[in-house]
Chain A
Amino acid sequence: MTNLRQQWLHGFLEMCLLSLLVDGPDYGLGLSERLAASGLGDVPGGTLYPSLLRLEKQGLVSVSWQHSTTGPRRKYYELTEQGRRAVRELADSWAHFRSSVDTLTMGVRND
């Protein structure tokens, strides 16, 4: 089951990250904690940071380093205008896809 979750996460991680950034910029560790808090579990750094880099290379997020008063400086990720458009489109098509899958699996669920 763990393996299956990982595969799903692979497909949806970038959409989840973009969604988290809609509220405002955040840094890697903060995003990782919010993913865990939303019930997606621990996302390994080896998966998270390459995803963030891919979003950066696609021009969907921009990055800036900011000094922190309490510790080392942090790399903040912020949605670009293109990223904002992309996440809206992704959320729409995900909603359609999800409702189709829900319809199919509704009758066979345990809970």
Chain B
Amino acid sequence: MTDSWTRSLAGHLIDCGVEPAEAQNMAADAAAEAEIAGTAPESLYGPALAYAATLARAARPVDGDPLDRATGRVLLRLDGVSKRYRRRWVLRDVSLTLRGGEVAAVVGANGSGKSTLLSICAGATRATRGVVQRTRRVGFAPQQHGVSAWLTANEHFELFGAVEGMNRSRATTVGTGLARQLGWNPRPRQIADQLSGGTQQKLNVVLSELHRPDLILLDEPYQGFDQESYVDFWDQVYAWRDAGAAVLVVTHLLHDLQRIDHVLELSPVDDA
């Protein structure tokens, strides 16, 4: 006996990235508890959509002790990096050494050069002064670009996978798996233009990770993310890190300072 609330809960749980079989079990459990309490599930738990998000978060495995681990080789080194546009300095003397298995957060007010720094790390912008050394395999998720409005998620995976020499089925399997980890279940015929801003940003993040890069650079990836999946994003960051990648994230909001290895705070450069 399944009512529509319970079916809807299972569906939303799957959309939140819960494995389908476990989602069915969780929904059945919720229905059984409501039956014991002698109430309708809706009045016990509230709307299925909101409850699915809460439940999916509760079901996520607990994080271990992240800082107690060995780190790998240096994958990104910045030494005295400065950038000037015409006569205006936007970055002054930035240095950072980032190893495999580490997370760096770049914070700072608007206009402090965060996006410029990321672009320099990615090799898309040249530093005016200083030295940039980076590993060859870099994944980069800039704020807006990189998603094609008329392609579906799978077509994106195939296209970006092909660049890295992945075959179609491998690219779509890996892409779908990564998307699920971000709490997004891509629908087969939905083109990117029909996705919400937050989901487009997730697609962007998945594409940056498709070829298992050693160094992952992310620019404000949560900006379009909804509040609930902000947490998913950081789970994903720590999963990449635990898999040995170095992750550099530009962020406004520091989720958990203790779990971040390097915090690079940029301040607007004085035009002195």
Which A residues are within 8 Å of any B CB, using their own CB? 27-29, 32, 44-46, 49-51, 53-54, 57-58, 71-75
For the complex, give the distance between the alpha carbons of A29 and B35 in Å: 10
Q: Which residue of B lies closest to A71 (CB)?
A: B36
Query: Residue of B at shortest CB range from A32?
Result: B37
Tell me whether B36 and A57 are in contact (CB under 8 A): no
Most chain A CB inside 10 Å of its own CB: which residue of B33, B34, B35: B33
Q: List 28 A-B contacts (CB under 8 A).
A: A27-B36, A28-B33, A28-B36, A29-B36, A32-B37, A44-B45, A45-B33, A45-B34, A45-B37, A45-B39, A45-B45, A46-B44, A46-B45, A46-B54, A49-B33, A50-B55, A50-B58, A51-B58, A53-B55, A54-B58, A54-B59, A57-B58, A57-B60, A71-B36, A72-B35, A75-B29, A75-B33, A75-B36
| Partner of B32 from A50, A58, A75 at Cβ < 8 Å | A75
Q: Given A44-B44, A49-B45, A75-B33, 18 other A-B contacts at CB below 8 A?
A: A28-B36, A29-B33, A29-B36, A29-B37, A44-B45, A46-B46, A46-B51, A49-B30, A50-B54, A50-B57, A53-B26, A54-B59, A57-B58, A58-B62, A72-B32, A72-B35, A72-B36, A75-B29
Number of A-B contacts (CB under 8 A): 54
Query: Are A28 and B59 in contact, CB atoms less than 8 angstroms apart?
Result: no
Closest Cβ of chain B: how far from A15's Cβ, in Å? 16
Set of chain B residues within 8 Å of A57, measured between Cβ atoms: 58-62
Contacts of B10-31 to chain A: CB distance below 8 A: 26, 29-30
Write the nearest CB–CB distance from A60 to chain B, whole angstroms. 10
Tell me if A's interface is mostly helix, strand, loop or mixed: helix
The complex places the Cα of A32 from the Cα of B57 at a distance, in Å, of 21
Tell me the residues in window 186-238 of chain B with beta carbons closer than 8 Å to chain A beta carbons.
Answer: none
- Chain A residues, CB < 8 A from B32: 72-73, 75
Contacts of A53 in B (CB 8 A): 26, 55, 58-59
Which residues in chain B, 68-124, are within 8 Å of chain A measured between CB atoms? none
Q: Closest Cβ of chain B: how far from A86's Cβ, in Å?
A: 12
Cα(A51)–Cα(B57), bound, Å: 10
**A28 and B37: CB pair below 8 A?**
yes
Chain B residues in 8 Å Cβ range of A45: 33-34, 37, 39, 44-45
A residues within 8 A CB of B61?
A: 57
B261 to chain A, nearest CB (A): 25
Give B55's nearest chain A residue, CB to CB. A50
Q: Whole-angstrom distance between the alpha carbons of A71 and B33 in the complex? A: 12
Question: Which residues of A are found within 8 Å of B35, using beta-carbon distances?
Answer: 72
Contact with A along B228-270 (1 / 0, CB 8 A): 0000000000000000000000000000000000000000000
A58–B39 alpha-carbon span in the complex (Å): 28
- Listed residue (A29, A32, A74, A75) with the most chain B CB atoms within 10 angstroms of its CB: A29
B50 contact set on A, CB distance < 8 A: 46
Return the chain A residue nearest B37 by Cβ: A29
Contact of B36 among A46, A51, A58, A74 (CB under 8 A): A74
In the bound complex, residues from chain A placing their C-beta under 8 Å from that of B30 are: 49
User: How far is A74 from B33 in the complex, measured between Cα atoms in Å?
Assistant: 7
Separation of A28 and B46 alpha carbons in the complex (Å): 17
B64 to chain A, nearest CB (A): 12
> With A and B bound together, what is the CA distance between A71 and B50 in angstroms?
29
Contacts of B37 in A (CB 8 A): 28-29, 32, 45
